[in-house]
Amino acid sequence: MISPELAEKITIHKGDATDSAAVEAAICKHECDAIVNTASNLVFSDMIKQPSGYIGDSVSSAAVRAGKKRGRPLRAWFIGGIGSLGYPHTGYKIHDYMPYWTTHHHRVTEATLKSISVNDLEWTLLCVGMMWPESDSRDVLPAPRHHSLAVGVQTPPGWQDHWIRDVPLNTVLEDVADLIAEHFGETSREHFVGELIGMKEEEKPKNG
C-alpha cells in the first residue's frame, strides 16, 4: 500500500518504455535529473518475454539525448542480474554457469551500458538476485534509512569461495532502495559510476 503522503509526491507518466523518443520526452517534460530503471520480464504460458534488455537500451539512449540537451549527463541506476558479476578467482562471470535463456536479457542490458561513455550518462548497473519487501506499506522518508548491505564492485562482496548455490541471492527491497537513494546526492552521485555493483546483507556477529 502507498500512503497518501507518498501518493501526493508521485507523478505517473504512462507510456511505452521501449519507445525511446517517448521516454526522452517524458524525461525532459518532468525535468528529471536522475533515473532508476527497474524494468523486468513478462511471463506467458509457454514462453518468456524478456523486454528488460530492450527497455534498458531505450531508456539509456533517451537519457543520453536528454542529458546532452541539458548540458550535463543524467545519473542513472539500472537493475540487472547477479549473473553479470564476476565469479571470483575463475575469470568467468556467474552467468557463465547459468542457462543462457535465463540471463540473456541481463547480458543485453550490461552490453548496452558498457557501450555508453560515462561522460554521456553516469550509469551504474546494480546486479541483484531476489528482492523481498520488508513491509507492505510505502511511506515518505525524509532521508534514506540505514541499510545493512555490504557492497562489492564487479564481484559479489564478502566472497568465501562458495559454490554457485551459496551466492547471496535474497535482499530486502527497502535496503536496495536505500542504497540507490543515498548515491543521488551531489556529494555521492559519482560513487560507482560506470561500475557493476553487487551486494549482500552484512554478516551479523555470532553470539558466543
Assigned domain for 86 exists:
yes
**Contact assessment for residue 83 and residue 94, using Cβ atoms and an 8 Å cutoff:** yes
Assigned domain for 18 exists:
no
Q: How many domains does the chain have?
A: 1
Mean pLDDT value across residues 57-61: 93
Assigned domain for 16 exists:
no
pTM equals 0.84
Per-residue model confidence (pLDDT) at position 44: 42
Domain holding 35, by residue range, is 4-8+24-201
**pLDDT tens, residue by residue, 93-121:** 989 988 888 888 888 899 999 999 999 99
Domain with 96 in it: what CATH number?
3.40.50.720
Assigned domain for 15 exists:
no
Assigned domain for 13 exists:
no
